[in-house]
Structure 1
Amino acid sequence: MTTDVKAAAQPATEPPPYRWRWIALAVILMAEVMDLLDAMVTNIAGPTIKAELGGTEATIQWLGAAYTLSMAVGLITGGRLGDIFGRKRMFLIGAAGFTVGSLLCGVAQSPELLVGARVLQGLFGAVMLPQGLGMIKEMFSPKEMGAAFGLFGPIMGLSSVGGPILAGWLIDADFFGTGWRMIFLINLPLGLAAVAAGLRFLPESRSPHPLKLDVPGVILASLGGLLLVFPLVQGRENDWPAWSFVMMGAAVVVFAVFGWFESRKSRAGGDPLIVPSLFRKRAFTGGLLTGLVFFSAMSGFVLVFNLYTQIGLGYSTLQAGLVMAPWSLGMVAGFGVAQAVARFGRKVLQGGVLVMTLGTLGVLLTVTQAGAGVTAWQFVPALGVTGLGMGLLMAPFFDIILAGVEQHETGSASGTMTAMQQLGGAVGVALLGTVFFDQVAGGPNPDFIGAAGVVLAVVAGMLVLTFLAAFLLPKQAREGEHAGH
Structure 2
Amino acid sequence: MSTTGVASTEAPTDSPAPYRWRWAALFVILAAEVMDLIDAVVTNIAGPSMRADLGGNASTLQWLAAAYTLSMAVGLVTGGRLGDIHGRRRMFLVGAAGFTLGSLLCGVSVSPEMLIAARVVQGLFGAVMLPQGLGMIKEMFPPQESQKAFGLFGPVMGLSAVCGPILAGWLVDADYFGTGWRMIFLINLPLGAAAFLGALRYLPRGRSGEKPRLDIPGMLLVSLAALLIIFPLVQGREYDWPVWTFLMMGASLIAFVAFGAYESRRSRTGRDPLVVPGLFRKRGFSGGMTLGLVFFSTMQGFMLVFNLYTQLGLGYSPLRAGLVMVPWSGGMIVGFGIAQGVARFGRTVLQAGALVMAVGVFGVWLTLDMVGSGVGPWQLLPSLLVTGIGMGLLMAPFFDIVLASVEQHETGSASGTMTAMQQLGGAFGVAILGTAFFGLLGGGVASAVDHHAPELRRQLTAAHLAPAAQQRVVADLRTCASDRAVAKDPAATPASCTRLEKHTRSAVTSPQDGARVPAALRATASSAFRTGFGTVMKTVLWIVDGMLVLTFLLSFLLPRHARPEGAAGH
TM-score range normalised by the length of the shorter chain:
over 0.9
Question: Deviation at 1:60?
Answer: 1.5
Q: Report if aligned partners of 1:82, 1:206 keep a CA contact under 8 Å in 2.
A: no
Q: Is the 8 A contact 2:309 2:533 kept in 1?
A: yes
Q: CA offsets, 1:275-319, max 9 Å, x none?
A: 011011111001000000000011011111111111111111100
Q: Are 2:480 and 1:444 aligned?
A: yes
Paired residue type of 1:376: P
Contact 1:236 1:434 in 2 (8 A): yes
1:292 alignment counterpart: 293
Sort the Cα spacing of 1:49 and 1:201 in 2 relative to 1 into closer, same or farther, 3 A: same
Instruction: Provide structure 1 residue ranges, at least 5 long, that are not aligned to the other structure.
Output: 1-9
> Bigger shift: 170-179 or 345-354?
170-179
d(CA) in 1 for partners of 2:438, 2:387: 24
Kindly provide the CA deviation profile for residues 161-195 of structure 1, in whole angstroms up to 9, marking residues without a partner as x: 22122222222222222222111111111100111
Q: Single out whichever of 174-183 and 202-211 deviates more from structure 2.
A: 202-211
Q: 2:373 and 2:209 mapped to 1: Cα distance?
A: 60
Structure 1 residue 434 displacement after superposition: 1.0
The yes-or-no answer on 1:175 pairing with 2:176 is yes
**Mapped partners of 1:379, 1:176: distance in 2:** 37
Superposed CA deviations along residues 28-55 of structure 1, whole A, max 9, x for unmatched, are 1111110111112122222232232222
- Between the aligned partners of 2:423 and 2:405, the Cα distance in structure 1 is 22
Match of 1:474 in 2: 559
Counterpart mapping for 1:68-467 below 5 A: 68-205=69-206, 208-441=209-442, 443-446=479-482, 447-467=532-552
The answer on whether the counterparts of 2:151 and 2:399 sit within 8 Å (CA) in structure 1 is: no
Is the 2:287–2:554 Cα contact (8 Å) retained in structure 1? yes
Map of 1:7 onto structure 2: none
User: Distance in 2 between the 1:439 and 1:469 partners?
Assistant: 28
Q: Give the % identical residues.
A: 69
Which stretch shifts more, 345-354 or 148-157? Answer: 148-157
Deviation at 1:129, TM superposition (A): 0.4
Q: Deviation of residue 25 (structure 1)?
A: 1.1
* Per-residue deviation, 1:481: 6.7
**Larger mean Cα displacement after TM superposition, 446-455 or 93-102:** 446-455
| More moved, 74-83 vs 473-482 | 473-482
Q: CA deviation at 1:369?
A: 3.0
Q: What amino acid does structure 1 have at the position aligned with 2:132? A: Q
Contact 1:405/1:481 (8 A) holds in 2: no
Code of the residue aligned with 1:402 in structure 2: it is: L
Give CA-to-partner distance per residue, 1:118-163, whole Å, 9 cap, x none.
1110000000000011111111111221222133332222212221
> Within 2, Cα distance between the matches of 1:473 and 1:209?
31
Root-mean-square deviation (CA), in Å?
Answer: 1.6
Q: Which runs of 5+ in 2 are unaligned?
A: 1-10, 444-478, 483-531
**Is the contact made by 1:95 and 1:125 (CA closer than 8 Å) also made in structure 2?**
yes
- The more displaced of 113-122 and 449-458 is 449-458
Amino acid at match of 1:396: P
Residues 172-228 of structure 1, C-alpha deviations (whole Å, 9 max, x = no match): 222222222111111111100111111121111267332100000000000000000
Provide Cα deviations, 1:327-375, integer angstroms capped at 9, x if missing partner.
0111110000000111111110010000111111111222233222111
1:46 alignment counterpart? 47
Helix, strand or coil: the match of 1:18?
Answer: coil
Q: What residue identity is the alignment partner of 2:366?
A: L
**Alpha-carbon distance in structure 2 between the residues aligned to 1:254 and 1:21:** 39
Seen in structure 2, the aligned counterparts of structure 1 residues 177 and 254 have a Cα distance that, compared at 3 Å, is: same
Q: Give the Cα–Cα distance (whole angstroms) in 2 for the partners of residues 368 and 58 of structure 1.
A: 35
The code of the aligned residue for 1:28 comes to I
- Counterpart secondary structure, 2:395: helix
Aligned-residue offset at 1:244: 0.5
Aligned AA (2:371)? A
- Report the Cα offset of residue 480 of structure 1: 4.4
Moved more, 274-283 or 100-109: 100-109
Alpha-carbon deviations, 1:385-428, whole Å to 9, x = none?
A: 11010000000000100111100000010000000000000011
Q: Which amino acid aligns with 1:221?
A: V
The separation in 1 between residues aligned to 2:379 and 2:50, in whole angstroms, is 31
Per-residue Cα deviation, 1:238-261 (whole angstroms, up to 9, x for no partner): 111111111000000000010000
* Residue in structure 1 matched with residue 496 of structure 2 by the alignment: none
The two structures have a TM-score, normalised by structure 2, of 0.81
**Alpha-carbon distance in structure 1 between the residues aligned to 2:362 and 2:203:** 43
**CA–CA separation in structure 2 for the residues paired with 1:401 and 1:394:** 11
Q: Is the contact made by 1:84 and 1:206 (CA closer than 8 Å) also made in structure 2?
A: no
Cα offset for 1:17? 1.5
Q: Distance in 2 between matches of 1:140 and 1:314?
A: 46
Kept in 2, the 8 Å contact 1:262–1:272? The answer is: yes
> Partners in 2 of 1:449 and 1:201 — Cα distance?
49
Instruction: Give yes or no for contact 2:354–2:548 (8 Å, CA) kept in 1.
Output: yes
Deviations along 1:85-123, one digit per CA (max 9) or x if unpaired, are: 111110000000000111111121222211111111000
Give 1:56's aligned amino acid.
N
Q: Is the 8 A contact 2:365 2:541 kept in 1?
A: yes
